[in-house]
Chain A
Amino acid sequence: MSRARPILLLACLVLAGAGCSDARDDSGARTVEFWAMGREGELVKQLVPEFERRNLGIRVRVQQIPWSAAHEKLITALVGGTMPDAFQLGSTWVAELVALRALEPLDRPDDDRSTAARLGGDPSLDAAHGDGGAARDAVRADGGTPPDVTDGGVFPGIAAANVVDGTVFGVPWYVDTRLLFVRSDILEASGCTQPLRTWDAWLACMTRVHDGGRDRFAILLPLTEWETPVILALQRGATLLRDDDGRGDFQGSAFRTAFETYVGLFARGLAPRGGEAQASSLYQGFGEGLFSFVLTGPWNLAQFAARLPADLAGKWTTMPLPAPDDHYPGVSLAGGASLAVWRGSHVKHEARRWTAFLAEPEQQAALYRASGALPARRSAWRALGLDTAPGTRAFWVQLGNVRPPPRVPEWERIATLIGRRAEGVIRGEDTVDAALAALDEEADRILEKRRWLRTQHDTRDGTR
C-alpha cells in the first residue's frame, strides 16, 4: 500500500486532482470521514474541535447513522465502495467485517506515517507516535500510549471481542454487559439475607420473592433475546460451537443444562411469559414490584434512575451475576462498541489517530459524562470514580469476568435462532430435546460454507 500510494497520488495530480478521493480540502487538510451510531454520533461532534486543535492538518467529518440501520448501511457502503475512513461498530460485528476484508488490522505499526509526512501532513504528528513494537495481545491503537490490558487498560474480555484469529481489528470504545438490576427492598422483605453468589442462592431467593406475593414474578427475561440463555450457557462452560467453529454444540451437556435452567425459570412461574408487552412496561413493572430482578445492561442505569418513581431511589441496586459454582462473579457477555478503520481508506494514518484519540481515557470519560456509556479503559473508570460508585460498581466487578460470543460472521444469525427456539420451548410449542436438535441442525447448515472454505484453504495450502 505504502508504495502504491505515491503513484496513485501522482495520477491524481496529473488528473488535476479534482475527482480523486484523497480527501484533501483546499487548505491541504486531510479529512477523515467518521460514522457514529445513534446518540454517540451527536456527542462525538463535541470532541472534534479538540482533536482538530491537536492535529492540525486533519479534519473530521462526523456522519450520524441510526443504530437500527447501522449494520445494513455499513455493508451496503462497503459493497458500494463508499465506506467511511473510520467508524463505530458493535463489537459483535467485528468478525463479519473481517470476513468481508473491510477492517484494517490495528496491531501492526502504522507504516503510513512517513508517506503522510512527505505529503505535507503535520510533521509534529509523528513525534507523538509510539514505537512500532507489536504488542499483539494488547489492543493498541496507533499513537498515544498503547492501552495496556493488564493495568489501567481495557477489560480483557472486552479486548478479546476485538481480536479475530489473533489479529486486533477494533479499538474498544465503550463497553456493554449484562447483570442483575435488583429491588433490594423486596429482597430484604422476602428474607433473602445471604449474598447471591451462586445459582442455588439466587434460585432460592427468586422462589422466595415469587411466593411472597400473589401475581408476582421474580425476574423479567425478554422472551426473544438470546443473551440470557447464552450467558447461562457460558457460565456452565459451554463453547456454543465446536469443530473450530464449524458446527453447533447445542446438544452438548453444558448448553443443555443451562438451557433447561433458563426455560425452567418460565415453567416455574419465576419469569413472565408475556413477551414484548411486558418489556414495554419494564419500568412500571419493576417499580410496582411485579418482578424484582431484571437481567439487563448499563443503558438502563440512567433509564431506571429517570423513569422509576422518586421514592424508589435507594430501593434498587445492581448486582454481578451469580455463578453456578463458587467462581463468583459468574461470566457475562462482553459487548459494546468499538472503533475501526476501513482497509481501503486513503487516510488510514489520520483515521487511526482519530480512533486513538477517541479511545483516550479523557475522551472516554467525556463520552460517559455526556451519554452514560461505560468506558472501555479501566483508567477512565478510576478517574471517574465509577469503580466505587453505587450502580456502576457492580459493572466494574462484572466486567472482570466477561467473554465475547463466538467470533464468526454467522454468530448473529445463530444467536437469533437460539432466541427463537427458546421462545418456542417457553411457549410450549416445542420440547427441549427437539429445540436443541433443531438448533444444532440449523447451526450446522449455516456454518456449512465456513467448513467448505476451510477445506478450500487446506487444499490450497497443500498444493503450495
Chain B
Amino acid sequence: MSAATTERQGRAAALLVSPALAAIVAFFFLPVVAALALSVTDFDIYALADLANLRFVGVRNYVRLAADPTFRTALWNTAFFVLVAAPLSIAVSLGAALLVDAKLARFPTFYRTVLFLPVVTTLVAAAVVWRYLYHPRFGLLNHALGVLGVAPIDWLGDPRWAMLAIVLMTVWKGFGFNMVVFVAGLRAIPPRLYEAASLDGAGTLATFRHVTLPLLAPTTTFVALMTVIGDFQLFSEPYVMTQGGPGDRTLSVVLLMYREGFRWWNLGTAAATAFVLFAIILALSALGLLVRRDDATDAGVAVGAHEAAHDGAHDGAHDDTRAGAPRAGEQA
C-alpha cells in the first residue's frame, strides 16, 4: 500500500468521522468543560443577574462539599442504596432469568414480556402507584402484613424504612432489563456443557455453581457494572416519592445536586457535586473493567478444557455489550 493511498484513506476517515466528532465535542466535551469551569466559581442568582458578581473560588466548592454534612449524608445514602439495591437487583434478575429460561417453563415469551413491563413503564406513574402501595393506613403492603400479623409500617415516613422502600421499588422497576441480559447470557452457554455435567453426575446446584455461574461471569460483570452506575445516579424515585425525606434519609447525591442547582441556583456547588459523583463512578467503572479483564482470563483458562465453550462465552459477552448500549445512553 503506498503512502499516498494511506494518506487519502486517512483523510477520508477523518472526514467521515468529523460530523460525529463535532457533535460529541459540541454536546459533550464543551458542556463538561463548561461545568468544570462553573465548579470553580460561586455562580448563583446574583451572578445570573450580573456577571460582575461572579467570583473565582478555586477549590472552595469542593472543600465545602467535603465538610458539608448534608453532602456526606447524601453520599452515605447513595452508597447504602447501591450496596443494597445492586446485589438485590442482580440476584432477582438472575433468578427471574433462570425461571424464564428453564426448560420446564411454559409461555416463556409471555413471562419475559410481563417481567420486562416495569422497565418500560413511566417512572412517575409507577411511583404514584407505589406511593399507594406504601400508604401506612390504606396501603396494600401493610394490609398484607396485617394479615400476617405484622404491625403496619410507615414505609415512606419512617427514616428506618424509607430507603428500603425506595430500594424495593427501584429493584422492581429495573430487574426486567437485567433479566433479559441474563437470558441472553444463558442462551450462549452451549448445551453440551450441561450434558457433560449431567454425565459426570452433577446435581442441579452443582451444575449451577460450576457451569452456569462461571460461564455467566462476563454477563454478570457487565450487569453489575451497569447496575452500579445506574444506581449511583439515583434521582427520580426519591424525587417523586419522598423529595429526599424523611430527615434527608432518601436524599441521593443527584437529588442534592438538583436541589443545589435548580432550586437554589448555586450552579457552582451543583457542578462541583456533579464532578465528585463523576469521579466516583469513573473509579468504580475502572475497577469493574479491571475485574472483568481478570474474569475474562479466568474464563479463558476454564474454557481451555472445553474449547467450544470459549466461543460461546465470547458471543455472550458480545451480545451484552450491544444490549447494554441503549441503557448506557439512557442512564447518561
Contacts and interface: CB of A to CB of B under 8 A. Distances in A.
Interface of A: 71-72, 75, 78-79, 96, 99-101, 223-224, 274-278, 280-281, 284, 409, 412-413, 420, 423-424, 427, 429, 449, 452-453, 456
Interface in B159-176: 159
Contacts, number: 63
Q: Is the interface of B mostly helix, strand, loop or mixed?
A: loop
Q: Is the interface of A mostly helix, strand, loop or mixed?
A: helix
22 contacts: A72-B262, A72-B263, A75-B265, A78-B48, A79-B48, A99-B46, A100-B49, A101-B49, A223-B246, A224-B245, A275-B154, A275-B246, A277-B136, A277-B157, A280-B135, A280-B136, A281-B137, A284-B137, A409-B45, A427-B159, A449-B46, A456-B53
A453 B154 contact: no
Interface string B44-57: 11101110010100
Contacts of B262: 72
A277 B49 contact: no
A277 B158 CA distance: 9
A449 B267 CA distance: 14
Interface of B: 42, 44-46, 48-50, 53, 55, 135-137, 154, 156-159, 245-248, 262-265
A422 to B, nearest CB: 11
A276 B131 CA distance: 12
Given A280-B135, A427-B247, A100 B159 contact: no
Given A277-B136, A277-B154, A277-B157, A449 B265 contact: no
A429 B264 contact: no
A299 to B, nearest CB: 19
B46 A274 contact: no
B45 A99 contact: yes
Given A72-B263, A99-B49, A276 B156 contact: yes
A100 B48 contact: yes
Contact of B245 (A276, A413, A456): A276
Given A101-B49, A277-B136, A456-B53, 9 more contacts: A78-B48, A100-B45, A224-B245, A224-B246, A274-B154, A275-B154, A275-B158, A449-B42, A449-B46
Nearest to B262: A72
A444 to B, nearest CB: 13
Contacts of B246: 223-224, 275-276, 423
Contacts of B49: 99-101
A58 to B, nearest CB: 30
B157 A449 contact: no
A314 B303 CA distance: 81
